[in-house]
Structure 1
Amino acid sequence: MIAFVFPGQGSQKIGMGVDLAEASSAARQVFEEVDDALNQKLAQLMAEGPESELTMTANAQPAIMANSMAVVRVLEDGGFSLSEKGGCVAGHSLGEYSALASVGAFSLSDVARVLRTRGIAMQDAVPIGVGGMCALLGADLEKAEALAEAAADGQVCEVANDNDPTQVVLSGHLQAIDRAVELAKEHGIKRAVKLPVSAPFHCSLMKPAAQRMTFALNDTPPGAFRLPIYSNVTAAEVTDASAEKDLLIEQITGRVRWRESVLAMQDAGVDHFVEVGGKVLGPMIRKIAPDAKVRSVVGMDDIDALAKEV
């Protein structure tokens, strides 16, 4: 069984989607539709930069989704249906929205606008300089949780992403994150690296953003979806649109349980993971499920190869 998975923030880069748009009218239509929905030349920003502007959360989130959905549309244009070929979908953080759009839960215009709101809400939730994040390399979840507790010292320091057996991300107050970096080796963690982020995502400091997303998703809730989705929050299969809406709100402050999600998909019979529009999740999945087949589909050659083989 195939799972189609979608990357999250951090996978953006200048030039993303350019080759696809040059090769396919279906891809160009995606970028045009997103530009129209946002009343912005996002495709031009993706193609030309500047990188500092593309990296801004409010731009990166819809850009990454647009890139993934361009791949989906090119596949569909060639007669390849994710819903027919796959058994489930999942996405890492904002990638969950791309996954939902790929199976019909959101229109392209709606998901672009929702992600723009999400990006602004997450950016505005905490003043710049108050929060931070760090990646713990060579850390499992148990070590990461112990470090977070030791570093908190009355502030927020929480596990934000359980990515794979060797990589966990912490999020919280900047001083607590600095303490975590200093204390990492004492906790048997190989290395701790501060991340160049503008806000402390996926921790309790994001509550104001969750409140704003409650309004946004009440106005534009996900509809029915053609394949089950594995939620970041529960690492379990979801088939009900109303339940998924609540989980998307909870996702803002909740942990991204990616490692557990991959294991749950594998337990359900997934033996082939296809990353749509990025090359970030593949290396994580290989560490979590070394026996599974893993591939990334980014350009036309990847799309052609997938269509021939699956």
Structure 2
Amino acid sequence: MRAFVFPGQGSQKVGMGTELAAASAAARAVFEEVDDALGQKLSAIMTEGPEDQLTLTENAQPAIMANAIATLRVLEQEFGVSLVDKGDCVAGHSLGEYTALCAVGAFGLADTARLLKLRGRAMQAAVPVGEGAMCALLGADLEKAQALADSAAEGEICQVANDNDPTQVVLSGAKAAIDRAVGLVKDYGIKRGILLPVSAPFHCDMMQPAADAMAEALAATPPGALALPLYANVTASAVSDPAIEQDLLVKQVCGRVRWRESVLAMREAGVAEFVELGGKVLGPMIGRIDGDSSVYSVISMDDLEALAKAL
């Protein structure tokens, strides 16, 4: 069995998609449709920057999605490889869950771009700049990270935001609590704590205003039928019902990204091969979660050609 997976925020960089757009009309069509849907030249920011504009949450989220869907369209149209024919399930890391839903036809491309633009704006606006923070804990498993978060909270919000792999967990919450957590890492047998360069504390209870905004947006633009099952971030289990997934997307804004558990659940279901489209972030995580699985991370035309031959 094979899973197609899609990266989340942090995988953006200036120049993303440039090679694909130069080589493929299918990729160019994706970038043009996203530009039209958003009423902005997002593709120009992706290609030329400036970097501070690309890293803005409201730009990074649709940009990462557009790059991954362009990669998928090239695979399908230039190399004749159908995700639905070659895949058994999909998953995405945080915003990547929207990309995965687009890939299996639950959302159209334009709607996905608009939803992610709104999601990015809502997440940014939920907490005033400077009041929230996130940190990555290196050399931490979930148990150590949870104990550290509980200790550092001191009445403030300090929660596990991402359970990425057995060696990396991310905390999110109030700035003072996250600073305390970074200062306490050695006491909990954790190798390092690193403050992340993010503008808001994603995937914690401080994001409730953004969850409310997404509930309204998804009520107006609900997901349709999924061509393949999706492993949802907040449950780490397979979903095929669009109504259930709509509710999970709302919960995802404040909820934990259970990526490690999602990968293990896919492996348990029989997935032996993972294909990451549009990034090279999830592949290494998957390798640390389960070294026996086969992983392809695909961003270039050469990567796509190699993948098409392998499939």
Q: Above 0.5 in TM-score?
A: yes
Q: CA deviation at 1:261?
A: 0.1
**Correspondence 1:109-128 to 2 at 5 A:** 109-128=110-129
Q: CA deviation at 1:114?
A: 0.3
Is structure 2 residue 43 aligned with structure 1 residue 43?
Answer: yes
Is structure 2 residue 112 aligned with structure 1 residue 73?
Answer: no
Aligned to 2:226: 225
**Cα separation, 1, equivalents of 2:82 and 2:234:** 27
Deviations 1:17-47 (A, max 9, x none): 0000000000000000000000000000000
**Cα separation, 2, equivalents of 1:109 and 1:189:** 43
Quick check: 299-308 or 223-232, which moved more?
Answer: 299-308
For structure 1, which runs of at least 5 residues remain unmatched after alignment? none
Aligned to 2:273: 272
Aligned to 2:174: 173
Give the total of aligned pairs.
310
Deviations 1:187-225 (A, max 9, x none): 110100000000000000000000000000001111001
**Cα separation, 2, equivalents of 1:201 and 1:139:** 19
**Cα separation, 1, equivalents of 2:229 and 2:46:** 30
- What letter corresponds to residue 170 of structure 2 in structure 1? V
**Cα separation, 2, equivalents of 1:43 and 1:85:** 29
**Correspondence 1:1-310 to 2 at 5 A:** 1-77=1-77, 78-310=79-311
For structure 2, which runs of at least 5 residues remain unmatched after alignment? none
**Cα separation, 1, equivalents of 2:109 and 2:76:** 14
Q: CA deviation at 1:181?
A: 0.3
Q: CA deviation at 1:309?
A: 1.3
- What letter corresponds to residue 192 of structure 1 in structure 2? G
**Cα separation, 2, equivalents of 1:275 and 1:125:** 30
* CA RMSD, Structure 1 to Structure 2 (Å): 0.4
Q: CA deviation at 1:243?
A: 0.2
**Cα separation, 1, equivalents of 2:71 and 2:32:** 14
Secondary structure of the equivalent of 1:163? strand
Secondary structure of the equivalent of 1:184? helix
- What letter corresponds to residue 33 of structure 1 in structure 2? E
**Cα separation, 1, equivalents of 2:172 and 2:268:** 29
**Cα separation, 2, equivalents of 1:302 and 1:279:** 11
- Give 4+ residue runs of structure 1 displaced > 2 Å after superposition: none
Deviations 1:62-88 (A, max 9, x none): 000000000111111032110010010
Q: CA deviation at 1:302?
A: 1.0
TM-score, length basis structure 1: 1.00
**Cα separation, 2, equivalents of 1:300 and 1:254:** 35
**Cα separation, 2, equivalents of 1:47 and 1:105:** 28
